[in-house]
A and B are shown apart, each in its own frame.
Chain A
């Protein structure tokens, strides 16, 4: 059974910060019968065994926690990490860059500069293993997803729409537009640390050329970790 705690109905940095702070606080008080928890842009899902933990008991704990403080003025998570992720923009690595430039009324190099100048926060992981939703780009990036689905973009595609960037670690079908590709994979099922990015982590993209892309592909992904702590 699941309980959903909703902090808002849209993506907003303060709503997302509230979710991530609540997640961290809940972890410290987590009853044993909680199966798993999922922080998202705007909500916090708790899946639990209702035969081992009565709904009313869990509800009471959540209500008490919600009333204990103003979660919306939470700052960024204490344990967040900072990442610099290499990416090749345009060409075969970013087949939709020209279309995005058209949508924004900018030149391609301006799109690249704007994207690479943005400091992103990992707002949530979801949809497919390790896929990161990154917030938030300036207003001019507020164009919709395509209405038709691209049956497959590769792992490492850098996808944009609705002021967000999406970074999948496995091939996915998508309506988002691909402006770049990174050798970085947040998800490595055979690693001791299979999921590298955590909600709340900070991330920016560094434009690189094909040679650097190829060199990074052989890298240990942990080498892209730029700085521990906030």
Chain B
């Protein structure tokens, strides 16, 4: 089949689905926030599994995925929040690259753990590039909006590749997230700021790619000098406090500027961990210094960079194996019992 006719046909898709890459950076001064994958670690996992470039685009889903049909041979991989994955009805490992032939059906069901899952294709989905990125920005009307019936274009696919697998990332377990004070922190009384650091915090169901409302077990936050200030630019991870005292962590699709005072900012290194905490999930903040936040970012980047070297072959064709019996067929990335997805 020619490359022109190949691609991934969307048979059905969750309404939360978007196309995401690393985002549309550099346009904040024009009112355009970056978008980009909510979980940058998961995006990097997919690139590592398929040998993709850092800026290749994937499908992102929250909560559930969809059903898709291959047109021509495709090399795919799933990453991020683990969802029920089946190929032609047979359960398939998450975080592993695999091949589809023309007509094969891949189905991504309900999420098991976390929030945001990703479906990657070798070379990335070739949807429309707008202002330097393929990321969908729903609110701003930028980028491709995936919908049933579409054929998502892909680059010509290799006939053969070595399927790779990655272990589960521990950022799904993180329940202590690093926090820095910001320029407007002193709008809030000391006792209120302290409460942000001591409270048990629950993620509200009112969350999306723009922001996550969070609730302190000790109640809403109060400000001394009023909650509105003259608008200025908002960084990703800024935590604004609206009139009712509910804090919201502002994320990839936020408005670029706002007039609600911001009590603190989440460390960049912990954005992916926060994004993967489901509604009702509980966590705490820990105050760090600027140096500690920078060190955490350095570690986070090293972890992303090391994914390519951590991805290991998951299957071998027995015909290629001279000494099959010398392989340990049980150990490796498959635990043996984790294929029972349902």
Is B229 a contact of A126 with CB atoms below 8 Å? no
Instruction: Knowing A1-B294, A51-B297, say if A129 contacts B258 (CB, 8 Å).
Output: no
Instruction: Knowing A9-B230, A35-B25, A170-B140, say if A40 contacts B257 (CB, 8 Å).
Output: yes
Instruction: Knowing A51-B298, A55-B294, say if A128 contacts B31 (CB, 8 Å).
Output: yes
Is B294 a contact of A51 with CB atoms below 8 Å? yes
| Nearest residue, chain B, Cβ from A51 | B298
Kindly identify which residue among B140, B182, B231 contacts A40, using a CB–CB cutoff of 8 Å. Answer: B231
CB of A29 within 8 Å of the partner chain: no
Is A6 a contact of B183 with CB atoms below 8 Å? yes
CB distance from B227 to the nearest CB of A (A): 13
26 sampled A-B residue pairs with Cβ under 8 A? A1-B290, A6-B183, A9-B229, A36-B26, A38-B256, A40-B232, A40-B233, A40-B257, A41-B230, A42-B232, A43-B232, A45-B233, A50-B297, A51-B294, A55-B294, A124-B231, A124-B257, A125-B31, A126-B31, A129-B30, A129-B31, A129-B32, A133-B231, A171-B141, A187-B30, A190-B130
State the CA gap A37–B256 with chains docked (Å): 12
Q: B residues engaging A (CB < 8 A)?
A: 25-32, 130-131, 139-142, 182-183, 229-233, 235, 255-258, 265, 268, 290, 293-294, 297-298, 301
New contact pairs (7) apart from A51-B297, A127-B31, A194-B30, CB-CB < 8 Å: A38-B257, A45-B232, A47-B235, A55-B294, A126-B257, A128-B139, A189-B142
| Nearest residue, chain A, Cβ from B141 | A170
Would you list the 4 A-B pairs with minimal beta carbon distance, nearest first?
A126-B257, A38-B233, A45-B233, A40-B232
Report whether over half of chain B's contact residues are helix, strand or loop; otherwise say mixed: mixed
Is B232 a contact of A41 with CB atoms below 8 Å? yes
| Nearest residue, chain B, Cβ from A12 | B230
State the CA gap A129–B230 with chains docked (Å): 19
- A8, A129, A130, A194: which has the most chain B beta carbons within 10 Å? A129
CB of A72 within 8 Å of the partner chain: no
Chain B residues within 8 Å of A11, by CB: 230
CB distance from B32 to the nearest CB of A (A): 5
Is A125 a contact of B142 with CB atoms below 8 Å? no
Is B290 a contact of A126 with CB atoms below 8 Å? no
* Chain A window 1-40, contacts with chain B (Cβ cutoff 8 Å), 1 for yes, 0 for no: 1101010111100000000000000000000000111111
Is A41 a contact of B231 with CB atoms below 8 Å? yes
* Chain A window 159-195, contacts with chain B (Cβ cutoff 8 Å), 1 for yes, 0 for no: 0000000000011000000000000000101100011
